[in-house]
Amino acid sequence: MTAPKKLFVKTYGCQMNVYDSERMVEALGESGYVETDTPEGADMILLNTCHIREKAAEKVYSELGRLKALKLDNPDLKIGVAGCVAQAEGREIMRRQPAVDLVVGPQSYHRLAELEARAQTGKKAIDTDFPEEDKFEKLKSRPKAKRAPAAFLTVQEGCDKFCAFCVVPYTRGAEVSRPVDRILQEARELVERGVREITLLGQNVNAYHGTGHDDTEWSLARLIWALDKVDGLERIRFTTSHPNDMTDDLIEAHGTCSKLMPYLHLPVQAGSDKILKRMNRSHTRESYMRLIERIREARPDILLSGDFIVGFPEETEEDFEATLDLIRTVRFGQAYSFKYSTRPGTPAAERDQLPEDIKTERLHRLQNLLAQQQKSIQDEMVGKTVNVLLEREGRFAGQMVGKSEYLHAVHVNTETAKVGDICQVRITQSNRNSLNGDLIS
């Protein structure tokens, strides 16, 4: 028997890339690869790239420049680029960095084994098509190895919203939902492998409209209710959502579906109607605020999270203040925030840009406010009892780490509980980015 070949995958960007990387490792497993955690000594290196913000492509090129040297030690080493930079740059990657053997866009991962075989013959292998088929169905693999208790499951990809700053509609393509049956089957398989919490993923996950076994289009809420009936699955989450797709049934599910966790990532991006309009967000500050009210009516303790962009073209100090004001009104328990960066090919890239120092200064103020809110909401957890899904052992003996229903990381003191348990924990301390607590059941 020949020794298995080693595969090193480096993942950039969002959770959808994490999910894709797992699928790629499984797919190449069937071609005789096992995963390794260092590029040195690997037979195949795959960079699963992200194109969402600035200089993504440049970072990939400099990483490739470094990795190329490994070919001197191992002339058989193959280097591949996957993900959204692969989609955006295509063949250009091989032109700029001839050490690259394989380029595969996010919609073509089911062809990875074929592309790898081609690369092994010394030819360049590239596929950045947008085929009609469900790549995950083709990628379905046999391994039944045990999994960590919390897993991702991609249910929807792509986006038709065309926010003026965003490359996703170009790199991930039009919005496509996977059929209900395949998702339910994958969920059941995950549960058999030890998974107790599933996060449904999609660039626009609440626009989900996959076909059910009754041949009708199902909403995300209906899919969640079907998952609610999967025995052994205890927790359901979903991300990322667009405000305009928060349908009544989905809001209601937050109040009535006990497996749906009280956490919602609902990006608003900005708080000024002028900027929202220029961003082509198609919601207003008022409609977002009304939505938040309705969600909180359904589930008063829900923890809200968001994405914010500062320094978008034409953003005045007053517009920026409107974003701060919206944040103060909503109170976010968690958030991601970014300076606007131009993405070639998107409408906002053509507009007059704000000076960098203004962007930096606004980001600083915004992040200070968000950090304060996050910490004060975390501090309010002290003394409360939460349910924690234990995901791994902690750094110290007698300590486990898991997630509360609100997605807070919780360090739990326990000698008896094990990974995969969901236990009641009384919170005793709030740290910068996590909580501590004692097991009470």
Please tell me whether residue 17 binds ligand SF4 under the rule CB under 6 A.
no
323 contacts ligand 5AD (rule: CB under 6 A) = no
- The residue range among 220-228, 290-298, 340-348, 400-408 that interacts with ligand 5AD, by the rule CB under 6 A, is 340-348
Q: Is 102 in the site for ligand 5AD (CB under 6 A)?
A: no
* Contact between residue 182 and residue 137 where contact means Cβ atoms under 8 Å apart: yes
Interacting span for ligand SF4 (CB under 6 A) from 163-171, 221-229, 352-360, 422-430: 163-171
The answer, yes or no, to whether the previous bond of 360 is cis (omega within 30 of 0) is no
Which residue's structure tokens are 């980001």?
Answer: 363
Distance CA 147, CA 418 (A): 14
Q: Which is nearer to ligand SF4, 212 or 347 (CB)?
A: 347
* CA gap 193, 385 in Å, rounded: 29
- Minimum CB distance to ligand SF4, residue 282 (Å): 9
CA atoms within 13 A on the CB side of 27: 24
Cα distance between residue 360 and residue 213, in whole Å: 50
Smallest distance, Å, CB 50 to ligand SF4?
12
Beta strands in 291-418 (DSSP E): 303-310, 334-339, 385-393, 399-404, 409-413
Q: How far is the CB of 240 from ligand SF4 (least distance, A)?
A: 7
Provide the edge-to-edge strand list for the sheet that holds 44-49.
Answer: 33-35, 5-11, 44-49, 78-82, 102-104, 125-127
Judged by CB under 6 A, the chain residues 168 through 187 that form the site for ligand SF4 are: 168-169
The interface partner of residue 203, options being ligand SF4, ligand 5AD, none and the CB cut-off 5 to 8 Å by kind, is: ligand SF4
Min CB(58)–ligand SF4 separation in Å: 21
Among 267, 271, 313, 333, binds ligand 5AD (CB under 6 A): 267
165 binds ligand 5AD (CB under 6 A): yes
For position 10 contacting ligand 5AD by CB under 6 A, the verdict is no
Tokens of 11: 């993942």
Helix, strand, or coil here: 36?
coil
Reading the block at residue 6, the tokens are 């080693």
166 binds ligand 5AD (CB under 6 A): yes
Q: Which residue has the tokens 């950090």?
A: 371
Give residues with Cβ within 8 angstroms of 380, minimum separation 6: none
Size of the site for ligand SF4 (CB under 6 A): 10
Angle, CA of 340, 344 and 347, to the nearest 5°: 70
Is the preceding omega at residue 240 within 30 degrees of 0, hence cis? yes
Least CB distance from residue 165 to ligand SF4, whole Å?
A: 7
Are 57 and 85 in contact by the 8 Å Cβ rule? The answer is: yes
The 52-71 site mask, x for binding ligand 5AD (CB under 6 A), equals: xx------------------
Among 159, 221, 324, 412, binds ligand SF4 (CB under 6 A): 159
Stretch that binds ligand SF4, among 144-152, 159-167, 354-362, 374-382 (CB under 6 A): 159-167
Tell me which residues touch ligand 5AD (CB under 6 A).
52-53, 165-166, 267, 269, 307, 309, 338, 340-341, 343
Tell me which residues touch ligand SF4 (CB under 6 A).
159, 161-163, 166, 168-169, 203-204, 242
